[in-house]
Structure 1
Amino acid sequence: MAPSKKASSSLARPSQKSKPQAAPPPNWPAFKPLVPTCDLSLSPVVPSQIVVVRKFWTAALCRDYVAFLKGLPLTTTPGKPKKGEALRVNDRFQVLDEAFANRLWIETGLRELICGRDGEEGEEEDEGEMSKEQRRELWGGDVVGLNPSIRIYRYTQGQFFDCHYDESNVLTLATKPTPTPAKTTWTLLLYLTSPATGCQGGETVFYPDDLPGKKSVVDKEIVVSLETGMLLLHKHGNDCMLHEGREVLSGEKWVIRTDLCVRR
């Protein structure tokens, strides 16, 4: 069960319906150095529900990004959430940036990791590699890119994100030659800090569901500890698991957040 000390708060996460800032996108640093795509792999934590990619980004790249992100105009979330929203205490920056989302999708090898290798139709899969149909089933459709709503989270000592569910959202990706109607199916969190960088606490914890009519996929809490450069992917929308970001005890927890988008 979720911690009782926060049981009074809502289970809904803060809405994304508020418009991201209208300021121009930042001049993001280059993605260097990167881990070779052939060294990346999907590691299931809970089958069809939670997946991690360890060492997706190098420690050096994470360090450079944290230094850059500290210069962004972060906004501290209100101490009292709106009605129907979960309690969250952190500093955040949000921007609509199609170009950055595309860079993160393509330049890092994420597209190949999520969608599989390009090849001729009917080409045999490598042993142990998921088929295209298995990937469609896992991700909830044909993944066409990342949500251009880029969110930067910083949690300092005493900050946390209470128990909540992540919603699915519909959007239209600005693809060429024609826009692509899409919906989000999985949350993507890229951890830039960890105990190795001085951040203690801040684990993402998933709990068994006890909602009427909803069968829980786990019978005990699942704790995902922070690892520098690790991707955490988890299913959201109707199949989202109840989860929270635990309180940071010391140091800073930095996260880049977006979502997988499938064609609709």
Structure 2
Amino acid sequence: MTNKQKQSSQQKVNSNTHTTTLSWPLISTKFNLQIETIYQDHIVIIPSFFTSQECTNMVKFINKTVPLESANPSLIPKKGEAYRDNDRFSIEDIKFSEILYNSGLNSLVSNWSSTLTKKPAVGLNPNIRIYKYSTGQKFGQHYDDSVQDSLGRISEWTLLIYLNGGNNENDIFLYGGETVFYKKKEEIVIRPERGMALLHKHGHDCLLHEAKEVKRGFKYVLRSDLMFA
């Protein structure tokens, strides 16, 4: 299956996780967020999870402050890994994960429960990842595995927050970089929109998916996981 293996890069990212403190840009609490279901019990989006200004501030912060780990285009994936050549950074930050969760996500998922354990959603993985894709970069077909965070909680959903993209993008141009899910012969295409959050089921119920190549411009993404306990 080459690039269609269960992706094991979670362990690789965790081994390079930073523990230094970052002074993140402010994220406001929203009271009017809404979930839109893309594929029942598997994929949902939250438009305007970040405001346009929050996205601008976050991208400037990433470019100025975050020591992204450079991509290695010549990297050949090991067995069980998918090809990826985007720049990235990982940090353990419990406080910021709580800020993200309590900014409006908590009220949307408060009644969600684990498929396996029936335990409720309780927060986000403090392992925060930052992805920057330049023109020509991508993340091949893979599955996201369920993980246990530093607090002993178990994940079942991936959270992606797109910091740029969409027809109204006026700061950082992006063409391409879609997140594509594969359900038998059907393709479910999620195009990055500035400030939009994407939640998709992972672990046992994860759909094969990939981040398509960025054709022009840059793509910025924040990543965490929804945890249950």
TM-score by length of 1: 0.78
- Deviation of residue 29 (structure 1)? 1.2
Deviations 1:73-125 (A, max 9, x none): 1112432223321001100010111111011111x11111211xxxxxxxxxx
- Deviation of residue 9 (structure 1)? 2.6
Q: Which amino acid aligns with 2:47?
A: R
Q: Which amino acid aligns with 1:185?
A: E
Matched, 1:187 2:128: no
Residue of structure 2 equivalent to 1:112: 107
Between the aligned residues of both structures, percent identity stands at 40
- Deviation of residue 16 (structure 1)? 1.9
Q: In structure 1, how many angstroms separate the alpha carbons of the residues matched to 2:33 and 2:17?
A: 33
Q: Name the count of aligned residue pairs.
A: 219
Aligned pair in 2 of structure 1 residues 81, 170: CA closer, same or farther (>3 Å)? Answer: same
Matched, 1:240 2:211: no
Of 88, 91, 99 in structure 2, the residue corresponding to residue 92 of structure 1 is 88
Residue of structure 1 equivalent to 2:70: 76
Map 1:23-34 onto structure 2 (within 5 A): 23-32=19-28
Q: In structure 2, how many angstroms separate the alpha carbons of the residues matched to 1:136 and 1:14?
A: 25
Map 1:2-151 onto structure 2 (within 5 A): 8-18=2-12, 19-32=15-28, 36-37=30-31, 39-71=32-64, 72-78=66-72, 79-106=75-102, 108-115=103-110, 132=111, 135-136=112-113, 141-151=119-129
Q: Is the 8 A contact 2:175 2:217 kept in 1?
A: yes
Q: In structure 2, how many angstroms separate the alpha carbons of the residues matched to 1:92 and 1:147?
A: 17
Gap regions ≥5 residues in structure 2: none
Residue of structure 1 equivalent to 2:174: 199
Q: Is the 8 A contact 1:10 1:87 kept in 2?
A: no
Secondary structure at 1:109's aligned position in 2?
helix
Q: In structure 1, how many angstroms separate the alpha carbons of the residues matched to 2:113 and 2:186?
A: 28
Gap regions ≥5 residues in structure 1: 1-6, 116-131, 174-180, 210-218
Q: Is the 8 A contact 2:114 2:228 kept in 1?
A: no
Secondary structure at 2:58's aligned position in 1?
helix
Q: Is the 8 A contact 1:20 1:96 kept in 2?
A: no
Deviations 1:188-239 (A, max 9, x none): 0000010424100000000124xxxxxxxxx510000110000000000010
Give the greater-gyration-radius structure (CA): 1
Measured on the aligned residues, the alpha-carbon RMSD in Å equals 1.8
